[in-house]
Amino acid sequence: MNPLIPLFVVIPLAGAFLIMILGSFIRNLNKYLASLVLLFLVIVSFYFLFTTGSKVSVYKVGGWEAVNSIPIGIYMVLDGFTAIVLCIINLIGFLSVFYSISYISRYTAENNFYALFCLMIAGMNGVVLSGDMFNIFVFLEISAISSYALVAFGVEKNELEATFKYQVLGGLASFLILIGIAFIYWKAKTLNIADIRNVFSSGYDRKYYLLVQILLLSGFGLKAAIMPFHAWLPDAHSSAPSPISAMLSGVLIKAVGIYVIIRLFFNMFAISEGMAILITTLGTLSMVVGAFLAIGQWDIKRLLAFSSISQMGYVILSVGIGMILISRGVRGEIAALAIAGGIFHLINHAAFKGLLFLNAGAIEYSIGTRNLQEMGGLSKSMPVTSATSFVASLSISGIPPFNGFFSKLIIIVAAILAKFYFLALLAVIVSIITLSIFMKFQRYAFSNKTDTRNKVKIREVPFPMLFSMIILSIVCLLLSVLVFPGIREMILTPATDILMDPSKYSSIITGM
Amino acid sequence: MIPYLLCFILFLVGLYGVITRRNLVKIAISLSIMEFSIFLFFALIGFVEGGVAPIVDPADPVKTYVDPLPQAMVLTAIVIGLATTAMLMAVIIRIYRKYGTFDIREIKNLRG
């Protein structure tokens, strides 16, 4: 029982509450309180990242112990994989809040912005930490409602249309998840993930099981914007204010989509080969189609949003390869490599896509447009933005020595070793397409000649925005060290271990 | 079996509304119908023949108790549903102020 675990939910919730209550009396409280809350969470999450290792800590809310080794209380579970995702959420969250200090000042109702932001963080931390389906659903809705409101924060035509689309599809996703939970409860009579695993492992109806899996996969797939369910993502992510786009694209689709899919399919369900092949196919589809849709875009943020779909495809693809190998029961070390590659790419994508959205926000802040055809020559007037976005573009296209290269390399090597030569080839081709997408971005935004008719002096953005961008570009470079043996064993291996051994998670939690 | 089938029909009614209606408010109503069909289904699953509220009475150990989990889940989901519906209606009102229409065919700024 580590008493620090519930703080991940309690502190941002309290922060949101205090900002709403006190924010209107004390000027500038909102900015500093939100930054402090997130800074504290970053420190705590890094503490957990370096100390968790391979142990699993369980916090039982209210101290309700299991009766006859059947868990009855609310369980919060923190293991290696959770610690990684918590770090991503809180680090990107902190940098986005710091960035917002100057970015959001052109909107009204700043209190609402910071309060909703803290609420979204609380929801995502809750989803990642909770050990039962009930709380996953509740926290998922908390983060979803605040993200609906934040997407519409500009309340102009585009924002409202995007948020309506997002809400209708997000609502459908919640319904699918709720039906899935109802079906699980019908047969298992429990909603604790570890307990469901134990109940289902002692015999189940195969078709019923498949129905539950499909319902949950489509529900969380809608949240994660995997290919057939991606329609809301480009609109919602491009209409939101830029720090929120960075949060949505960098963190939200991972924390409430990919993370939950991986957690449920590895630790709750027994992996079946059919499901594994389906997940790999969906991943490949989003990887390829997302890249092709991105290349034709002229709006920077839409381009980045489509590229998010493609990069998430990489994660799903490599995790799916790991699932196929586990379900066949062969070559566990290659499966571990594939899963580690997927998780590594998930971390990297949070860093560079967050950075790219912050760059897009900086460009929009300075010149007031998001259309690539209307900009050019910005590398002279905005040197820091230009340099950091160059780092991010190289990372996302997989150029060494940046982090994206190593994670894509691991994914491709794992695909080749697992004898999925076609998938490896597709991953290489999509990587080349990604490079061309970001060369287009660099060329049109930063290196073309400036339009001389436009005499407005373009200035570099203020310090808080620069600070966040510089830190994230350093993070992009530093993350490559995760590939080296000593550090990989400390951070990535515990995460893959808990996923690789199907019964370890449930046996630790229920104590059987 | 019949109650479950009726839930499913209610769900399909809602889905039909979401797909075919063109008025934003009607889409919101259809979403609510879908939502409540799921709540009804979940509450039905929790029904136990002859069950009583789970207040354990040591004097009478043979009683059948109802599991409070589905009720708690449905109540929570109803509250969440209230919040999402309120949020959706607020967005619809804003859309009406900006576009001057509820017709979904005329709200198509975002393309591609």
Confidence of residue A91 (pLDDT cuts 50, 70, 90): very high
Q: What is the mean pLDDT of chain A?
A: 89
Dist. CA A220–CA A179, nearest whole Å: 12
Cβ <8 Å between B84 and A186: no
Q: Do B94 and A189 touch (CB under 8 A)?
A: no
Give phi and psi for A10, each to the nearest 5.
Answer: -65, -45
Place of tokens 């189940």: A204
Q: Is A60 helix (H, G, I), strand (E, B) or coil?
A: strand
Amino acid at A115: A
pLDDT at residue A454, as a whole number: 57
pLDDT exceeds 60 at position A359: yes
Which two tokens mark A452? Answer: 């001389």
> All domains of chain B, ordered by start, with CATH?
2-106 (1.10.287.3510)
- Residue A91: left (phi > 0), alpha (psi -120 to 50), or beta? alpha
- % of chain A with per-residue pLDDT over 70: 98
**Number of C-alpha atoms within 13 angstroms, CB side, residue A458?**
23
CB A497 within 8 A of CB A333: no
What is the distance in angstroms between the Cα of A186 and the nearest Cα belonging to chain B? 6
Comparing CB atoms, the residue among A137, A160, A302 nearest residue B94 is: A160
Contact yes or no for A117/A100 (Cβ under 8 A): yes
Q: Which of A149, A185, A235 sits opposite B87 (nearest CB)?
A: A149
Contact between A73 and A62 under an 8 Å Cβ cutoff? The reply is yes
What are the residue ranges of helices labelled H in A398-457?
403-417, 421-442
Interchain contact, B91 vs A163, CB within 8 Å: yes
Give residue A358's Cα distance to chain centre. Answer: 16
Q: Given CB atoms, is A167 within the 8 Å cutoff of chain B?
A: yes
Confidence (pLDDT) at A447: 81
Is residue A138 within 8 A of residue A160, CB to CB? The reply is: no
Check residue A456 and give its pLDDT: 62
Residue-level length of chain B: 112
Beta partners for residue B65, in sequence order: B52
Q: In this predicted structure, which of A137-146, A394-403, A457-466 has the lowest mean pLDDT?
A: A457-466
DSSP 8-state symbol, A240:
S
Name the residue among B29, B5, B3, B2 with its Cα closest to residue B16. B29
Q: Please give the backbone phi and psi of residue B52, each rounded to the nearest 5 degrees, phi first.
A: -120, 170
The owner of tokens 């929790």 is: B46
Report CB contact under 8 Å: B107, A164: yes
The pLDDT score that the predictor gives to residue A228 is 87
**Residue among A178, A191, A235 minimizing CB distance to B77:** A178
Mean pLDDT of B65-82: 91
Q: How far is B57 from chain A (nearest CA, A)?
A: 17
Phi, psi of A58 (to 5 degrees): -120, 130
Q: Which residues of B touch A239 (CB under 8 A)?
A: 110
Residues from B in contact with A at Cβ < 8 Å: 18, 24, 27, 31, 34-35, 38, 41-42, 45-46, 67, 69-70, 72-73, 76-77, 80, 83-84, 87-88, 91-92, 94-95, 98-99, 107-110, 112
Using the predicted structure, report yes or no on whether residue A355 has a pLDDT greater than 90: yes
Residue of A nearest to B8 (CA): A179
| B21 chain-A contacts, CB cut-off 8 A | none
d(CA A187, CA B73): 16
Within A53-76, residue ranges assigned H as helices are none
Interchain proximity A296–B112, CB inside 8 Å: yes
Question: Average pLDDT for residues A168-190, to the nearest whole number?
Answer: 92
- Alpha-carbon gap, residue A479 to A487, rounded angstroms: 10
- For A314, the token pair is 């990489």
Best of A74, A158, A161 to disrupt the B interface (most B CBs within 10 Å) is A161
Cβ <8 Å between B35 and A175: yes
Residue B87: CB partners within 8 Å, gap ≥ 6?
Answer: A145, A148, A149, A167
- How far, in Å, are A122, A284, A335, A337 from residue A280 at the CA level? 31, 6, 13, 16
Contacts of A197 (CB under 8 A, 6+ apart): A267, A268, A269, A503, A505, A506
Higher per-residue confidence, A246 vs A270 = A246
ipTM score of complex: 0.94
| Per-position b or e across B61-71, b if 16+ CB within 10 A of its CB | eeeeeeeebbe
Q: A230 touching B, CB under 8 A?
A: no
Residues from chain B contacting residue A179 (CB–CB below 8 Å):
38, 41
Reported as half-sphere exposure (CB side, CA atoms, 13 A), residue B13 has a value of: 13
Q: Which of B17, B34, B78 is nearest to A173 (CA)?
A: B34
Contacts of A105 (CB under 8 A, 6+ apart): none
User: Is residue A277 within 8 Å of residue A243, measured between CB atoms?
Assistant: no
The DSSP code for A446 is I
Sequence-distant (6+) residues with CB within 8 A of A46 are A87
Which residues of chain A does B73 touch, with a Cβ-Cβ cutoff of 8 Å? Answer: 134, 137, 181, 185, 191
Mutation target vs A (from B11, B37, B38; most A CBs, 10 A cutoff):
B38
Per-position b or e across B28-50, b if 16+ CB within 10 A of its CB = bbbbbbbbbbbbbbbbebbeeee
> Are residues A318 and A342 in contact, defined by beta-carbon separation less than 8 angstroms?
yes
pLDDT in tens, A197-234: 888 887 778 888 899 999 999 999 999 999 888 888 99
Q: Where are the alpha helices (DSSP H) in A330-382?
A: 332-367, 378-381
Residues of B in contact with A162 (CB under 8 A): 110
Residues 6+ apart with CB under 8 A from B21: B27, B30
What are the CA-CA distances from residue B9 to residues A207, B3, B22, B36 (Å)? 22, 10, 21, 12
- Distance in angstroms (rounded) separating the CA atoms of residues A211 and B26: 30
B5: which 2 tokens? 């089938």
Q: What is the pLDDT of residues A405-451, one digit of tens each?
A: 999 999 999 999 999 999 999 999 999 999 999 999 998 888 876 66
Determine whether the interchain pair A141/B99 forms a contact, defined as Cβ–Cβ distance below 8 Å: no
Interval A288-301 mean pLDDT: 91
- Cβ of residue A459 closer than 8 Å to a chain B Cβ: no
CA distance A220 to B39: 19
SS3 A484: coil
Instruction: Indicate the domain borders of chain A.
Output: 271-507
CA distance linking residue A378 with residue B111, whole number of Å: 27
Contact B112 A155 (CB under 8 A): no
- Which among B70, B77, B92 has CB closest to A185? B70
pLDDT tier for residue A289 given thresholds of 50, 70 and 90 = very high
Decide if A185 and B34 are in contact by the 8 Å CB cutoff: no
Greater model confidence, B49 or A182: A182
Of the candidates B29, B34, B26, B33, the residue with the CA atom closest to the CA atom of residue B104: B26
